[in-house]
Structure 1
Amino acid sequence: MSDNELRWQLRQLPREIDPPRDLWPGIESRLTRGVPARPSRPWRGWAVAASLCLAAGLAWQLRGPDAPRADPQASVVQREAEAMTREYEAALGQFDGLPLPAPIEPALATLDRSAVEIRAALATDPQATFLLDQLRRTYARRLDLTQRALTG
């Protein structure tokens, strides 16, 4: 049988077929009977709570008295700030001994104070990762201003 013949036969089939009988009464009777209730297990909640308490107790005991309490993200932020400061100081070291023009010294002092304040804020709140970006921008501005003042 070719594809055209099969298509012709499919087109000849009726579009809708009514069921031989009304199905709703059977569906309605099954719905009104209801689903049998699951047996009540009140101990299940207590078992879950006891398991969680046991897990918390084991974790607390395995932690030990001298376990570090430092937040890993905080130490990463601190290390990043320290590395950034070392790179900044190394870059600024290129200009040691060169005379800076007097008019830009107040701006440089302000940027230096800002960097100190940002590092102090990071030490107080090591979770404040946005301060790393602020420190990077402050160091970049300080280096840029120094380079422009000395190189013209």
Structure 2
Amino acid sequence: MKNEITDVSLQQQVDELSKEMSPERDLWPGIEKAMAKQSRSNVKRPFYPVAWAATVVVAVLVSWLSFSPQPGTSTSNVDIAQVMQQDFNEQKQLMLVNLGQPDLKQLSPDMQKQFDELKKAQQAISKALENDPTSVELLNLLRWTQKQELDLLKQIYSPKWQTI
């Protein structure tokens, strides 16, 4: 076989090759274009992170300003107690309109006693809140007594609902 190449012949062929290779065309215009594109794109890139950072800062400031309490608009606990009482009265009135006015005289003495105790408790808590408007415990107790009265009203009307 004539095509067999030995290490010695391969080394001779490598030694005969020229030490330098020249390209078929001039490569410098392509290199200059690539460098110019990189320098132009580097100029544009820093703008985007700055824009994102500015957007985040603006969003945080708008959120902070819109959710921060305005001076002079803070509500005191006395106002909270009044709002709770108004809300309770509205809920009770809505329930009574939907269900009808109860005839408390027809209720059992035990139910009448519970209604009276709840009303007295609400009055006592309201007076205590006038003296100590910052008491969270009193506000919670007022809410609980109001809920109990609404639940008692529901309980009174539950037998009528079942018979319909």
**TM-score normalized with structure 2 length:** 0.44
Between 1 and 2, higher relative CO (CA 8 Å, sep ≥ 6) is seen in 1
Q: Which has the larger radius of gyration?
A: 2
**TM-score normalized with structure 1 length:** 0.48
